[in-house]
Amino acid sequence: MPGRNFLYIPGPTNVPQRIRNAMSLEQEDMRAADFPEFTLPLFEDMKKMFKTETGRVFIYPASGTGGWEAAVTNTLSAGDKVLMSHFGHFSYLWVDLCQRHGLDVQALEVDWGEGVPVEQYADILKADTNREIKAVFATQNETATGVASDIAAVRKALDDADHPALLFVDGVSSVGSLDFRMDEWGVDLCVSGSQKGFMLPTGLGIVCASQKALEARKSATLPRTFFSFDDMIAGNDNGFFPYTPPTILLRGLREAVDMLLEEGLDNVFARHTRMATAVRKAVAAWGLTLVANEEKWYSDTVSAIYVPEGFDGNEVARHAYKYYNLALSISLGKIAGKAFRIGHLGDLNEMMLMTPLAGAEMAMHDLGIPLELGSGVAAAQEYLCSTRQARI
């Protein structure tokens, strides 16, 4: 099919030309004497992405799943009791990872469409008078359902219970797109990845660890080699890595961080909220509903959209790809086939947003889903025009 393919899944996201240019270079010697002149400032600037002054960032050649494993194996021991919740495909996978590592997982099953059950967390933490719970896990953004959770509220639950447990956050589809405040919220370990808000290809698992988490590694006994904080620290302190790093991706990460800082993180977050609101206006105009069942759960990086009963949401995604060169995302797990997803994160502006809205309308129309062509696009246009901002 002539023309380009349009990518609107919640990761990997579009890679801006600036970043592609930054990665269009020859391979380099990762042990060259001047390599630390590049890496050490990058490590420092990465801390800004997590809004931390005291935390430490580790960059692994991995995906977000590798970041999960690094966070867990460096700070916990087999048999440790941890409090988790799952309300979508990816939060469940995190539970599964912890169970496979021999942790004693108390996993709260939450309705898909809701997020971290803070009130239940609070009750459980207050009841844990013997302080058996070693860590509390929270997924800030559940990509499968388009649900975002309140991490500050989880921290408050810990503080109100005066509980010393480590706070783990899955920020894979939130860091660099949604507001995240590591120091202010007292997060001990946050996991992210290169292929979402950082606008890079898949390949970097990024972990930010607090000083409390770094201290916990001294008593943690889960095995780790490739993901060892100790090995990374020994190399990173001097600007190097314990093994061959993906230097081209690191050059791209440098450019991505520069782009985010140039725009200003608060402006980045506001842009994502505006784009997401436009999508939600379109969904309402179509007469459809989000999987996120209350406004407080709405994600600003991905919208999961229910199709009417009797229709297949995954077929909407397949049809859009086959006939319109548009990559939307299928639904997974408990809601497989009941919805489709639009990713609206990373490198995105108004005109880019019109593409998945128009394409989704066309695909749904083709499949007989009752809606008026142009209705969602018009609703999004009206909102975006009413909130337009001059380009600087």
| Domains of the chain, each with CATH number or no CATH | 6-12+264-386 (3.90.1150.10), 17-262 (3.40.640.10)
pLDDT at 237: 98
pLDDT at 392: 60
Per residue in 120-150, pLDDT (tens digit) is 999 999 999 999 999 999 999 999 999 999 9
Residues 138 and 154: beta-carbon distance below 8 Å: yes
Name every residue whose Cβ is closer than 8 Å to that of residue 37 and which is 6 or more positions away in sequence: 239
CA-CA distance, 292 to 260, in Å (whole number)? 28
pLDDT at 1: 73
- pTM above 0.85? yes
Which residues of the chain register pLDDT less than 70? 392
pLDDT at 3: 86
Structure tokens at 260: 């985010």
136-141-145-147 Cα dihedral, nearest 10 degrees: 90
- DSSP E strands in the chain: the ranges are 6-7, 56-61, 81-86, 104-109, 133-139, 141-142, 147-148, 166-170, 189-193, 204-209, 302-306, 326-327, 329-330, 339-343
Helical (H) or strand (E) element with 22: helix 17-22
Query: Mapping DSSP to helix (H, G, I), strand (E, B) and coil, where does residue 305 land?
Result: strand
Cis? peptide before 10, omega within 30° of 0: no
pLDDT at 384: 98
